[in-house]
């Protein structure tokens, strides 16, 4: 009996302490001291919110650098029991989860590579990211798109290539992760350079 009482009392007390007081206190600290991060690291152009610095978005036009293939989906508005492809749906994260021997995956990798050109392409451009929201490309993945973007914008390739190179971020603290380019930041810089 005394064990039952302890079990119930401690369940309630710790729900109040760790399930409410703790997350709400952290929320308070975040909203007061670190509001930019706490609210999703939003990026503005002028007045308009154009995205989050951390979340990739869908770029389909030739005049923009395009992020990695994304496997996210959304509910089909025509038939709510079905899902349709909706790349970079930041309300429903997912990877492809296709296995290494998957015919579907092999076909998708082949089709993506052929759409980009001859021979092997940068791996990040032909494989789906884990989250479907990967905001980054490898430097090689961005450089591979320079010719297309330069043509669409009517700019010399050298200028666009220099822009990409300026946007390359090194490893964090010089050691962790790998060099990468934030696609949204790159495209914002691109719009500023060559509207």
Pick between residue 53 and residue 194 the one whose CB is nearest to another protein: 53
Question: How far apart are the C-alpha atoms of 175 and 164, rounded to whole Å?
Answer: 21
C-alpha span between 190 and 150 (Å, rounded): 10
- Shortest Å, Cβ 33 to another protein: 8
Specify the residue, 16 or 158, whose C-beta has the smaller distance to another protein. Answer: 16
Q: Would you give the DSSP letter of residue 62?
A: T
Residue 105: closest CA among 117, 93, 97: 97
Nearer to another protein among residue 78 and residue 176 (C-beta):
176
* Smallest separation (angstroms) from another protein to the CB of 128: 6
Closest to another protein by CB, 29 or 158: 29
User: Which residue, 119 or 158, is less far from another protein as judged by CB?
Assistant: 119
Residue 65 near residue 45 (C-beta atoms within 8 A): no
Q: Give me the least distance between CB of 175 and another protein, in Å please.
A: 6
Say which residues have a Cβ less than 8 Å from residue 82's Cβ, sequence separation at least 6. Answer: 75, 76
CB of 159 to another protein, least distance (A): 20
Torsion region of 23: left, alpha or beta (phi above 0 gives left; psi -120 to 50 gives alpha): alpha
Tell the residue number behind the tokens 């190179």, with chain if given. Answer: 165
Q: Are the C-beta atoms of 33 and 50 separated by less than 8 Å? A: no
Which residues are registered as beta bridge partners of 182?
136
Shortest reach from residue 166's CB to another protein, in Å: 18
């Amino acid at each position: 009996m005394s064990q039952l009482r302890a079990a119930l009392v401690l369940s309630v007390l710790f729900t109040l302490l760790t399930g409410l007081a703790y997350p709400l206190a952290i929320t308070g600290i975040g909203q007061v001291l670190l509001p930019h991060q706490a609210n999703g690291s939003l990026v503005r152009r002028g007045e308009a919110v154009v995205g989050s610095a951390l979340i990739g978005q869908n770029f389909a036009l030739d005049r923009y650098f395009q992020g990695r293939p994304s496997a996210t989906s959304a509910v089909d508005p025509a038939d709510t029991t079905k899902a349709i492809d909706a790349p970079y749906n930041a309300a429903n994260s997912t990877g492809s989860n296709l296995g290494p021997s998957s015919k579907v995956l092999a076909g998708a990798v082949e089709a993506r590579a052929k759409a980009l050109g001859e021979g092997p392409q940068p791996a990040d451009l032909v494989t789906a990211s884990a989250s479907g929201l990967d905001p980054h490309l490898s430097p090689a993945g961005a450089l591979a798109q320079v010719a297309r973007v330069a043509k669409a914008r009517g700019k010399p390739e050298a200028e666009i290539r220099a822009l990409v190179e300026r946007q390359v971020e090194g490893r964090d603290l010089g050691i962790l992760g790998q060099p990468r380019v934030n696609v949204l930041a790159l495209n914002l810089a691109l719009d500023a350079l060559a509207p």
